[in-house]
Amino acid sequence: MTKVAVSLLLTIYSLLITSTFSAIDSFVYGGCSQLKYTPGTPYESNVNSLLTSLVNSATSATYNNFTIKSSSSPTDTLYGLFQCRGDLMAGNCASCVARAVNQLGTICLDSTGGLLQLDGCFVKYDNVMFLGVEDKTEVLKKCGPLIGYGSDALTTRDGVLDYLGASDGSYKPYRVGGSGDFYARAQCVQDLSASECQDCLSEAIRRLKTECATAAWGDMYLAKCYLRISGSGSHSHGGNGNNNEDEIEKTLAILIGLIAGVFLLIVFLSFLRKACEKGKGGK
Ligand SMILES: *[C@@H]1O[C@H](CO)[C@@H](O)[C@H](O)[C@H]1NC(C)=O
């Protein structure tokens, strides 16, 4: 019985903990260059040092870019960047980028370039220069169930989208907004200028409105920016509502759970000891 209780507790904790972090680490999309480099060449060590630079830099920044010039061939120059979700705290950004780089090493083994979007961060490297280049190619689109034209919900949804797309001229690479049941966030990769970011997000909003028409929720990932909106009738939707407050709440819940668990364990162990002593005394 004790084993069952303990393993039950452990299961509950691991569930709590994975539910906190899976939102950040969950896979959104990824891709690799078809060209492969020859293992053991300088290109490989440049890829490795680039990816290491990204991981190290993510401990102190939410965005950074690196260029590694090749001594042998100019076409072997490598470019790379990472972009964390604007609301991630430094530790979460670093662990997300580390996770992404780790996965890239597996899924893009020996590829000359690769990219991976997790829920909390984006990582890309390539020997084709892409830093500071605006790219509005649609990469991924998901639309939720339809809610119908003319409904109040649709008006609210579009209001939230327009709020996110509004520009006061300042640089806002990460945006959140909500109203009613709707919560939305948008993120530019920060190699874009303020006006390019604005342009990219406007395009994402326009496409979501047309391509997801009257859907209750939707994701629109363009190559250098994305927009996600969750609403009524959302299914589990990659932690869309996962802002700092949520994270703090979850961390608190885990902490309280742990303390309660330790307390229960102590009570249980002391009960066990008493029972043992009684057993011995009875002999
Ligand atoms: C790349 O990083 C350098 C140094 O941090 C920075 O000055 C530059 O603006 C960045 N370039 C882009 C395109 O983000």
> In Å, how far from its chain's centre is CA 106?
18
State phi, psi for 258 to the nearest 5 degrees: -65, -45
What parts of the chain have a pLDDT lower than 70?
Answer: 1-22, 149, 232-261, 276, 278-283
Q: Give the torsion sign (CA, 254, 260, 266, 268).
A: negative
pLDDT value of position 207: 97
Residue 228 DSSP SS3: strand
The set of protein residues with a Cβ atom below 6 angstroms from ligand 1 is: 65, 131-132, 191
Q: Which atom of ligand 1 is nearest to the CA of 63?
A: 14
- Kindly give the distance from the C-alpha atom of residue 188 to the centroid of ligand 1, in angstroms, as a whole number: 15
C-alpha–C-alpha distance, residues 27 and 136, integer Å: 21
The residue contributing the CA closest to ligand 1 atom 9 is 191
Q: Whose CA is nearest to atom 4 of ligand 1?
A: 65
Q: What is the pTM of this model?
A: 0.76
- Ligand 1 pocket test, pick from 65, 79, 82, 171 with the greatest ligand atom count within 8 Å of Cβ, gives 65
pLDDT confidence of residue 241: 39
Can you give the pLDDT at residue 236? 40
Q: Which atom of ligand 1 is found nearest the CA of 132? A: 13
**HSE-up of residue 236 (Cα within 13 Å, Cβ side):** 4
